[in-house]
Amino acid sequence: MLLKLFLAIHLVGLVLTAGMTITRFILFFNLWRSQDSNGLIELHLARRTNIFLGVGMGIAILSGLIMMDLAYSAFAHQLWFQLKVGAIFLALLCGIFIMRSQRSVYKLSLIASKDLPAIKFKLLVGSGIQVFCFLLVIIFASFRFGCRGMVRP
């Protein structure tokens, strides 16, 4: 019963994190396309999504650790879980990279620097990698390949 409760909490955190990642990808895509303005509105909105993204990631990681403790680390040695954790760490690294680049864009957009298009492109690519990582996390968690005793139709 407790494991199912934390699974539901884990899924809420995952949906919040993935949703904010997709939202931020769309904002960065609009930022990259904006030629006439520096995209301060998109940057401001993207900075707001960082809060929800962090909360969702924190909920997902904390509930995942609690589920691992409740399940006596039963999933830790399975291939799908190890790939899922690797995709999560890659998404975290891209998130750190995006936040650093986002600060650079915000500072450079105020002075209209010539490096702005390159940094905007890095934001778009980093956010796209994050969306792809969360897609992999959902696929790995859904199919759970390598599990023994799984009921197949």
pLDDT in tens, 109-122: 656 667 777 777 88
Asked if residue 63 has pLDDT above 50, the reply is: yes
What is residue 124's predicted lDDT score, i.e. its pLDDT? 86
Asked if residue 151 has pLDDT above 70, the reply is: no
Q: Which 3-state string (H, E, C) describes 56-110?
A: HHHHHHHHHHHHHHHCCCCCCCCHHHHHHHHHHHHHHHHHHHHHHHHHHHHHHHH
Minimum mean pLDDT range among 1-5, 19-23, 63-67, 104-108: 104-108
pLDDT in tens, 124-142: 888 999 999 999 998 988 8
> How much is the average pLDDT of 75-101?
88
Q: Which residue has the tokens 């409740």?
A: 70
Closest listed residue to residue 102, CA positions, set 40, 52, 34? 40
What is residue 145's predicted lDDT score, i.e. its pLDDT? 60
Start-to-end CA span in the chain (Å): 25
Mean pLDDT of the chain: 83
Asked if residue 36 has pLDDT above 80, the reply is: no
What is residue 132's predicted lDDT score, i.e. its pLDDT? 95
| Longest distance between any two alpha carbons in the chain, whole Å | 61
What is residue 153's predicted lDDT score, i.e. its pLDDT? 43
What is residue 119's predicted lDDT score, i.e. its pLDDT? 77
Q: How far apart are CA 72 and CA 138, in angstroms?
A: 22
Q: Count other C-beta atoms under 10 Å from residue 143's C-beta.
A: 11
Cβ–Cβ under 8 Å, residues 137 and 88: yes
For the domain 2-143, what is the CATH code?
Answer: 1.20.120
